[in-house]
Amino acid sequence: MIAPEPFFEPRGTPFSEFHRIRALTALGHEIDLVTYPFGADVTLPGLRVFRCLRPPFVRRVKVGPSLAKIPLDALLTLTVLRRVLASRYDAIHSHEEGGLIGAALATLLRVPHVYDMHSSLPQQLSNFAFSRSRWMKRMFFEIERFMIRRSRVVIVICPALEETVRAIEPRAHTIVIENAPGSIVDGAAPEAASALRQSLGIGAGTPLVIYTGTFEAYQGLDLLFDAMAVVGRERPDVRLLLAGGQPGQIERAKLQARAASVDALTIFAGERPAAEIPAFLQAADVLVSPRCRGTNTPLKIYQYLRSGKPIVATRLLTHTQVLNDETAILTAPTAAEFARGILTALTDRDRARRVGRMARELADSKYTEQAYMERTREVCAALAAPPPAAQVRDSAAFKDLP
């Protein structure tokens, strides 16, 4: 398995990678994971972790595309090559841009390849404001098309990505596995939520709006702060708690909160271990997702659903492919409308309880551990099946290239 991310760090793709590994090893597979030189060590039966060398002066890698990934991916490739020379593998499983390495190598080794597609590479350029270059976007598109066409199976994390794959290669074998294993937020006791509030100086009766996740620009924190300014004028007792963000991002977010005049009611808890997130969710009166760009469903949404708390989210595809008006309070992506959604969740308690209950029922019926494992079995079965004739012809042509 090739994972061009810090493993493990508490953010979207590493979470997804962890649960893929957990499911595959539970099914009896053994995995050699090749990943970046950053992240916490993880121990699972059947897993061995091999980290590439760290380039000089590179101390960490941020979410999304970055210049630091160029030397990191080059060193990652060398580590992958060392592993395939030392061992014989039945399949190669690649995440994100690691699919470029994995798909080419799997073709040369004549083993099946599974591409784990967490996002569309060309879309990342705009989501992370990395580049507006048409040439670079075209290059990313060609890389994405190559990875899809050279894969026996393409795992996608949401229906929107499945449509992206179909538009590139209608014959692709896609399997949707949402980032929603049932165990991810189970086990939060009411006492833990009370203790969390107390540790942060938040009274038991204080209305609490909580956001969890990264602080990237596409998450819409500027929209959230502007909305909270409106909420605060009507409900000055409300507090906003944010769990996430790197130190530099938190400092920038504090400046945004101050500019929106909501710094007095905003609490920054910083990046928290995954084990603590259930307590944050249970401590909330309202959970918010103000994401304003992109089409992938945020991992936090599945955590929010399982909590049974009312969700306020923007009425965009990133949310509506999972949420609807029965399971969340959906609003236009404007400060005024998002504020109205938060105030509705705080004041209309019957509606808040109803959408929270329906959200939990959706999680318990559709986004379960059993469903996650069953789709993982589908991936394994597809890898074991003979390749389509068209893919055999493509692979033969690829091997004939000079």
For residue 185, what pLDDT is reported?
A: 46
Res. 67 pLDDT band, cuts 50 70 90: confident
Query: What is the CA angle 189-276-268, rounded to 5?
Result: 120
**How buried is 187 (Cβ within 10 angstroms: 0-12 exposed, 13-18 middle, 19+ buried)?**
exposed
What is the pTM (predicted TM-score) of this model? 0.88
CB 360 within 8 A of CB 287: no
For residue 402, what pLDDT is reported?
A: 42
Dig out the tokens for 268 from the structure.
């920054």
pLDDT in tens, 181-220: 755 445 567 789 999 999 999 999 999 999 999 999 899 9
Segment holding 308, helix H or strand E: none
CB 305 within 8 A of CB 363: yes
Dig out the tokens for 182 from the structure.
């049932």
Q: Report the mean per-residue pLDDT for the chain.
A: 92
For residue 163, what pLDDT is reported?
A: 95
For residue 304, what pLDDT is reported?
A: 96
For residue 142, what pLDDT is reported?
A: 95
**pLDDT average, residue stretch 108-118:** 96
**Using the 8-state DSSP alphabet, how is residue 274 labeled?**
G
Res. 66 pLDDT band, cuts 50 70 90: confident
Statement: residue 391 has pLDDT above 90:
no
Cα(157)–Cα(296) distance, integer angstroms: 8
Res. 401 pLDDT band, cuts 50 70 90: very low
